[in-house]
Amino acid sequence: MKKNMRFVVVLLILAAFLVPQLFAGGSAEVSKEKKEINLWYWDQNADEVYKQLVTEYEAQNPGVSVKLTVIPWADYWTKLQVALPTGTGPDIFWLNHPNAVSYLPTGLVMNLEESAAKINFSNFNEIYYKPFMHNGSRYGVPIFFDSVILYYNKAMFDKAGLSYPDDSWTWNDFSNAAKKLTIKDGSTTVQYGAIVDPDMQSGASNFILQNGGKLYSDDRMELQIDNPEARETVQFMLDMIYKYGYAPKISEMREITKETMFQSGMVAMVTNHTGILKQFAEILGDDMGIAPMPKQKQRASIYHNLGYVAAAKTKNPKEVVDFLTFLASKRHSDVLSKVWAPCFTGGAGLFFDEYKWLDIDYIVDTVNYGYPLPVSGKNAGPVYTLLNNEMDKVFMQPTVGNSLASMQKVINAEINK
């Protein structure tokens, strides 16, 4: 009996403490006078940036309260899809190229053309807001961009007595260097010269374009990857893996992830996007070098950027447009440059100042030969996932064969679903 009583008393005390909490958190704690703007994003690295920006904005606009919500990347789209159509979603949220294709035609995203003058799109290069356009109207404010470059490990190059990669490099130079940088210990490879990777952002598509190959048709409604230049490219990459062993097999690379392989000194060169510059620099420090990717028939580098879009059903359209204007301003760009390279023209300079000890010009140059992320004209999100899956499969065998042809068929079927 006594045990029971004690138990009940403990329960009551807990209840007395917790129950008020339940009801405290019930509804919005914002006083009714303030207009609330909800901003959703998926990368915690932006927390500090937004905290500062929001503090400044709220100080200048006392009638507005901006609420920040960071959502795990893996579930961002799930949550968005559930919340947005019901009107309980964000007022402003991050969008990327593939999902822009799916979201813009739905009427759930606010058309920014009427506010275009206020937001001042002229501060951005057209290539950054074009992917966020639909039927000639602009829907998104560009945030930050990344392009693909070649990262390499200076220490390994020094050890092998090789000169560093530069903008004169061709595929031949790349391959030769990889050969000299591959170190074997018996039958295991202890150090790989390079990573060649099917990824459609930071891997294969860059090489295919460098060889003059085609990915999508001009209207992006059809994948046309089964062309001789692409086949040649893929075979070149496959040979590096299977014939010569300068690069790890796909499974091995995915088990460890290519970032980890580069960071832990297992591989001398890797093509990756610039968003990861900060992390690589933190780990490798002075050993890290950057260079443009090797050219073949031309230079090519895939770029990608995110955009702020607004919910069409927002309760506070005027305030949202005003905040978007702030997000398109130089001030936003300056604060953002602490973490990423902003799309705001000239804004990237501040970001790159951090990395003056690297050959930063190479990154800035990529704008001149940048190609957008290979995104289809319809059903882009699922197609992009499938594209990466199919390319993975292509890379799992030593010869190209018909794999690009079958890949083309599968993707085109998915586009037209």
Residues of this chain, 277-336, that bind other proteins according to CB under 8 A: 279, 282-283
Instruction: Candidates 55, 78, 120, 122: give the one binding other proteins (CB under 8 A).
Output: 78
Using CB under 8 A as the binding rule, whether residue 126 contacts other proteins is answered as no
Residue 253 or 358 with smaller CB distance to other proteins: 253
**Distance in angstroms (rounded) separating the CA atoms of residues 191 and 156:** 9
Using CB under 8 A as the binding rule, whether residue 155 contacts other proteins is answered as no
- The count of chain residues that interact with other proteins, using the rule CB under 8 A, is 70
User: Measuring CA to CA, how many Å separate 397 from each of 5, 127, 157, 175, 238?
Assistant: 70, 36, 30, 19, 8
Q: Are 178 and 193 in contact (CB under 8 A)?
A: yes
| DSSP bridge partners of 290 | 151
Using CB under 8 A as the binding rule, whether residue 11 contacts other proteins is answered as yes
Q: Are 389 and 396 in contact (CB under 8 A)?
A: no
- Of 256, 285, 280, 236, nearest to 192 by C-alpha is 256
Instruction: Candidates 79, 179, 313, 378: give the one binding other proteins (CB under 8 A).
Output: 79
- From the list 127-135, 307-315, 335-343, 376-384, the region that binds other proteins by CB under 8 A is 376-384
Using CB under 8 A as the binding rule, whether residue 74 contacts other proteins is answered as yes
Instruction: Candidates 261, 277, 321, 336: give the one binding other proteins (CB under 8 A).
Output: 261
**Distance in angstroms (rounded) separating the CA atoms of residues 295 and 255:** 29
**Distance in angstroms (rounded) separating the CA atoms of residues 22 and 12:** 15
Using CB under 8 A as the binding rule, whether residue 385 contacts other proteins is answered as yes
- From the list 73-81, 336-344, 368-376, 402-410, the region that binds other proteins by CB under 8 A is 73-81
Residue 120 or 251 with smaller CB distance to other proteins: 251
Q: Are 210 and 156 in contact (CB under 8 A)?
A: no
Tokens of 140: 């998104």
Using CB under 8 A as the binding rule, whether residue 18 contacts other proteins is answered as yes
User: Measuring CA to CA, how many Å separate 328 from each of 111, 116, 213, 267, 407?
Assistant: 16, 11, 35, 39, 39
**Distance in angstroms (rounded) separating the CA atoms of residues 233 and 64:** 53
- From the list 114-122, 136-144, 252-260, 401-409, the region that binds other proteins by CB under 8 A is 252-260
- From the list 77-85, 130-138, 157-165, 314-322, the region that binds other proteins by CB under 8 A is 77-85
**Distance in angstroms (rounded) separating the CA atoms of residues 194 and 177:** 9
Nearest-10 crossing angle of helices 403-415, 228-238? 120
Q: Which residues bind other proteins (CB under 8 A)?
A: 4, 11, 14, 18, 21-23, 25-28, 38, 42-45, 47, 67-75, 77-79, 81-86, 88, 102-103, 106, 108, 250-252, 254-256, 259-261, 263-266, 273, 275-276, 279, 282-283, 379, 381-382, 385-386, 389, 392-393, 396, 414, 417
